[in-house]
Amino acid sequence: MSSIHAHTVLIVAAILFVLGLAGALIRRNVIFMLLSIEIMLNAAGLAFVVAGARWQQPDGQIMYLFILAMAAAEVSVALALVLQIHHQHKTLDIEQLKELKD
């Protein structure tokens, strides 16, 4: 990590987080929203790893392992819900699902 400065990687992590946030807010498909949330989690994990490397502590890598475990649990539950929604409503479009609620 000596050739790449920590602030450069943190800027990349911030850009990834903003792209994930924009994707979660703009996209109307549930699967794309889940992918955007995964991008945001990976950006946060990257920031933790860089911060841990900056201070030469393993805490950032440990936090990244927790983020990976949480992301795996989130994906498994979310995909089960997506399959159930698609089975019942035959769509994954958020706007159409909102109309069904009314």
Domain presence at residue 15: yes
Domain presence at residue 53: yes
101 has a pLDDT exceeding 90: no
Residue 13 CA to residue 46 CA, distance in Å, equals 6
Q: What CATH number did the domain enclosing 39 receive?
A: 1.10.287.3510
Comparing CA positions, the residue from 93, 37, 92, 102 lying closest to residue 67 is 37
92 has a pLDDT exceeding 60: yes
The overall pTM is greater than 0.95: no
Domain presence at residue 101: no
Domain presence at residue 83: yes
Q: How many domains does the chain have?
A: 1
Domain presence at residue 1: no
100 has a pLDDT exceeding 90: no
Q: What range defines the domain where residue 71 resides?
A: 6-93
Residue 50 CA to residue 63 CA, distance in Å, equals 11
Domain presence at residue 40: yes
Domain presence at residue 32: yes
